[in-house]
Amino acid sequence: MGMHTELILKCRLVDNLPENVDQVLNFLFNDQPLVLPYPQHDFFKCSHWEFIGNSASYYHVPVAIKYLDKGILFTRFDMKNYHTEIELFIDWLQPYIDAPAGKCIGWTFYEEYLTPILVYKT
């Protein structure tokens, strides 16, 4: 079956996002259509990248939360992270996060772990 990983992410995004980045974020977090080609990143090679921000199970909290407005991104969701979709999403998003390196921007919590793993801006 596989285990679930929860992601809680809260950050401010840089001004003037590239159009394709803005469209992907609005697709994931505001349910808007995706028209442009995907950006070039391994995240988009994952078979379940579209689940980011949209899935929830009873192993964590059975509600996905997604908020993207005026440069603020907040999400809480969990999914089976078979192909490291969560880590690749964070890696893809890093250049567009408006925060100093080392700032905590969230955490991941694997279903069987006792404590979360903090996520930092690189």
Is the pTM higher than 0.85? The answer reads yes
Q: Which residues pair with 119 in a beta bridge?
A: 106
pLDDT of residue 18: 95
Average pLDDT, the chain: 94
- Convert the pLDDT of each residue in 28-68 to its tens digit: 999 999 988 889 999 999 989 999 999 888 778 889 999 99
Please provide the DSSP assignment of 10-45 as one string.
EEEBPSS--HHHHHHHHHHHH-----SPPPSSGGGG
Query: Which of left, alpha, beta for 91 (phi over 0: left; psi -120 to 50: alpha)?
Result: alpha
Split into its structural domains, the chain has a count of 1
The domain in which residue 79 lies consists of: 4-120
pLDDT of residue 38: 84
Paired tokens of 107: 């955490």
Is residue 73 within 8 A of residue 90, CB to CB? The reply is no
Burial 89-100 (b: 16+ CB within 10 A, else e): bbebbbebbebe
pLDDT of residue 3: 87
pLDDT of residue 17: 96
Report strand pairing: 72-80 vs 117-120: unpaired
pLDDT of residue 36: 80
pLDDT of residue 1: 53
pLDDT of residue 60: 80
H or E segment to which residue 77 belongs: strand 72-80
Which residue type is seen at 94? Q
Highest mean pLDDT among 29-38, 59-68, 78-87, 92-101: 92-101
Q: Which residues pair with 108 in a beta bridge?
A: 7, 117
